[in-house]
Amino acid sequence: MPAELVGRFPSARAGAGAGERAGPAEKEEVVESKAAEEKGGCRSWLLRACPCCCRAPSESADTEADVPQTDGIAAGVDADAGRGEPDGVKPPLPQIGDTELEEVLLQVRLVDLLKSHKGQNRTLHHTDQYHSDDLIIRRGETFQVAVDLSRPFNSATDKLHMELKTGPRPLVSKGTHIIIPLVEELTDDRWEAKIVEQDGNRIKLSINSTPTAPIGRYHFTVATAGPEGVATAAQGPSNDIIMLFNPWCEDDSVYLDDEEERQEYVLNDTGRLYYGTEKQIGARTWNYGQFSEGVLSACLYILEKSDVLPRGRGDPVNVVRAISAMINSPDDRGVLEGNWSGDYADGTAPTAWSGSVDILKKYHDEGGMPVKYGQCWVFSGVTTTVLRCLGVPARSVTNFQSAHDTDVSLTIDIYFDENMEALNSLNSDSVWNFHVWNDCWMARPDLPPGMGGWQAVDSTPQETSHGTFRCGPASITAVRNGQVYHKHDTPFVFAEVNSDKIYWQRNLDGTFSQIHSEKKAVGHFISTKAVGSNQRHDITHLYKHSEGSEEERIAVETASRYGTKPNLYSSAAAEDVHMEVTMEGEGPRIGGDAQLTIVLRNQSAVPRSTSLHSQVEVMYYTGVLKGTIKKDQLPIELAPNEVKTITWVLPYQNYQDQLVDQGALMLTLSGRVRETQQVLATQTCFRLRTPDISITPLGDAVVGKEMAAEISFTNPLPRPLKGVVFRVEGLGLQSIKEIPVGDVGSRSSVTLKERFVPSLAGVRKLVASMHCAQLTQVHGVVDITVQEN
């Protein structure tokens, strides 16, 4: 038989097919099924076929709780099967031969994953360029499979579900064993399947995936059940499914909203690496080759070798951090062995490489033997390849005059003796002509809002992080503002781009005194390839404020307080000025100027003065900052003990075409009190509130009797809304209904009357929402008390 068959028939067989290996989990199932035979025919056969659908009484409550009750096989099992029989007495079993069984039992003959390179699955998932015969999908999107059955599928009596398993010990509770039920309508953010086409014995299914699923290789199986029994078809490696991160899915942590940037940072398989000196910047082409034959397999192999368990592979922070460790070799026999000696006789010189493909394939083909040799640009090029291959937007970045801080002082320290002779034994810090690392794009729900977006990750083995040679991901926003207390490895990255160079001389008593400092010696011309061209794009402004500006100095001094020399910079003589941001009521509304209130309190008996820098940025709900839309500088004079209230205004024109998602914004304020050198800094998240939809019930609400509701909405914007669509629904009142309205004029109102017939008594909620390109997150609700007829 082409599939394992298990049913209420003695001739049905369960066991590993030819060429299949029974792992520990499978052996346990065999033992359980033998024990179950003594408790009743149907239940024993079902237990052998699909233990998740028919739990033995001895299984733990925790295991049972791991299995969701779905409309799949579990929901279709006769609850009384195998019960009520005396101990040792088996229920009578129908006597039927193998041929007759095959004719009536609903079996899976063939699973077609529709995985051709130019087919719908690969094209819509942007995986058609991979030179691989596997089905490669991106999480959070639907995909289709076709199943050939032994007879036509009857939705009234037959059941079907699918399962995906990844890792050596798949568990439902860990998200590594996924049960996909068959449903009538698909729901977002849930694993579900729907029959979208049926032709004789062949059905085509559309399957929903979740945007948080662990990435990697999954084993795919289909299980069926009908009145005649149960059958499962276990597929071999040829029908495995590979799941990747999805920068096209808004609910994926790696979502990137600009298509040109997705084309560059995910799909472009070549790039430019920069080297040399800040006055003589050189460039070379690097072939990333993330779609080349064998590269995806090598990347999955690296992921398997890493310390990230399968259940943790849904979080890009975990995955990127593991890749940072696995690209170098010192502590985990990773991909590349570094060599800066100049002697490369037993390997390949770092300068000889021009791409990542040969390196990754060699590492995979040789069973994980580190490839000789790499230096920073090679580590970075390979990291870009692996991250793009797995679906994480990534780019290689070069920092000129790049510091290497070895003692977490967040400074580059140079020591001299009493005679101004260099103390080489103490001078372990260094400044490289250039250093190449990576940026990768993701939300950071593990950090405060605003820390998402580009994250620095460095695979070159320089310093250990929690005992392993790795670095990042570190939020570039945190680096820019000196917020080095945010994970991961932000102090090291900050020092690379914005540390001061401090000169020390030894005193006669053995102590050291600071004799000189250079504040602009580190972090110049930070470069990456421009989107859509081979030009160099300078991104220094993303990593640091303008050199020498007050904001940049505040960032340096803020960071230093968390280093090993926290008292290096003079502390404030007093901290007697307090700053806070407040908003009136529930906050500003969309469509007009947004106003917040800045309150400054001088708690001293003398005047205080400062220059307050303000910057407001558009922010996704994930905490990723999209871009700055307004910057200001405001001089402040405070009289003794004065409380000053300042109205901060964001004009509508500044944000009208910039908002995303929930209309969220981040206001950053910073400054320094001149008299005391006290640093003032705060960040405030706020959103522009959208109007509510008003719903008014009309008439009596009685089961089975038609009633109506009036739905009204007013456009708050000083411009028309285009292509407005309302959605109305209510459990026990109205199934989902879309109502196209068309355009709604500036500041205009629209009123609809929706008729419906309540089907359930009690307090019911009628919900309405409005959507268009110019305005989202508009909704309303009303309670309707429905009486019995």
Task: Please name the residues in contact with 754: beta carbons below 8 A apart, sequence gap of 6 or more.
Answer: 708, 709, 711, 728, 734, 737, 739
pLDDT of residue 13: 35
Question: Is 527 a residue whose pLDDT tops 80?
Answer: yes
Q: How many residues does the chain have?
A: 789
DSSP single-letter state for residue 691:
P
Q: Which residues contact 586 (CB under 8 A, 6 or more apart)?
A: 689
Q: What's the confidence (pLDDT) of residue 278?
A: 84
Task: Give the model's confidence band at 623: pLDDT under 50 very low, under 70 low, under 90 confident, else very high.
Answer: low
pLDDT at res. 776: 81
- The stretches of 430-589 forming alpha helices (DSSP H) are 476-480, 490-498, 540-543, 550-560
Q: Looking at 408-412, 434-438, 535-539, which range is the least confident one?
A: 408-412
Question: Is 194 a residue whose pLDDT tops 60?
Answer: yes
pLDDT digits (tens, 9 = 90+) for 19-29: 333 343 333 33
Residue 594: pLDDT over 80:
yes
| 8 Å CB contact between 453 and 441 | yes
Q: Place 235 in a pLDDT band, splitting at 50, 70 and 90.
A: low
DSSP readout, 404-448? E-SSS-SEEEEEE-TTS-B-TTT---EEEEEEEEEEEEE--TTS-
The values of phi and psi at residue 25, to 5°, are -65, -40
Q: In the predicted model, is pLDDT for residue 417 greater than 90?
A: no
Q: Is the pLDDT of residue 58 over 50?
A: no
Res 44: pLDDT = 43
Residue 22 CB partners (closer than 8 Å, separation 6+): 16, 30
> Which of 740, 780, 736 has its CA nearest to residue 756?
736
- Say what the pLDDT of residue 360 is: 97
pLDDT confidence of residue 423: 86
- What residue type is assigned to position 282 of the chain? G
Judged by average pLDDT, the poorest of 31-40, 149-158, 257-266 is 31-40
Average pLDDT over residues 638-667: 89
Confidence band of 249 (pLDDT split at 50, 70, 90) = very high
Residue 146 φ then ψ, to 5°: -115, 140
- Partner residues linked to 108 by β-bridges: 149
- Computed over its alpha carbons, how large is the radius of gyration of the chain? 32
Question: CA angle 765-768-769, nearest 5°?
Answer: 140
Task: Name the residues annotated as catalytic.
Answer: 376, 435, 458
Q: Measured between alpha carbons, how far is 378 from 398 in angstroms, rounded to an integer?
A: 12
Output the pLDDT for position 41. 44
Which amino acid type is present at position 203? I
CB-count burial class (<10 Å; 0-12, 13-18, 19+) for 574: middle
Contact assessment for residue 666 and residue 628, using Cβ atoms and an 8 Å cutoff: no
pTM confidence score? 0.72
Residue 45 exposure: Cα atoms within 13 Å on the Cβ side = 24
**At 771, is the pLDDT very low, low, confident or very high (cuts 50, 70, 90)?**
confident
Asked if 209 contacts 137 with a C-beta cutoff of 8 angstroms, the reply is yes
DSSP E strand stretches across 133-267: 135-138, 143-149, 159-165, 177-181, 192-199, 202-208, 216-226, 229-234, 241-244
Q: What is the model's pLDDT at position 335?
A: 97
What pLDDT does residue 48 have?
A: 44
Q: How far apart are CA 346 and CA 414, in angstroms?
A: 36
pLDDT tens digit string along 485-498? Answer: 999 999 999 999 99
User: What backbone phi and psi angles, to 5 degrees, belong to 173?
Assistant: -65, -20
pLDDT of amino acid 575: 86
Please name the helix (run of DSSP H) or strand (run of DSSP E) that holds residue 379, with its range, or none: helix 376-390
- As a whole number, mean pLDDT of residues 754-770 equals 91
In tens, the pLDDT along 3-51 reads 333 333 333 333 333 333 334 333 333 333 333 344 444 444 444 444 4
Question: Which pLDDT does position 517 carry in this prediction?
Answer: 81
Q: What's the CA gap between 518 and 547, in Å, rounded?
A: 12
Q: What is the pLDDT of residue 142?
A: 96
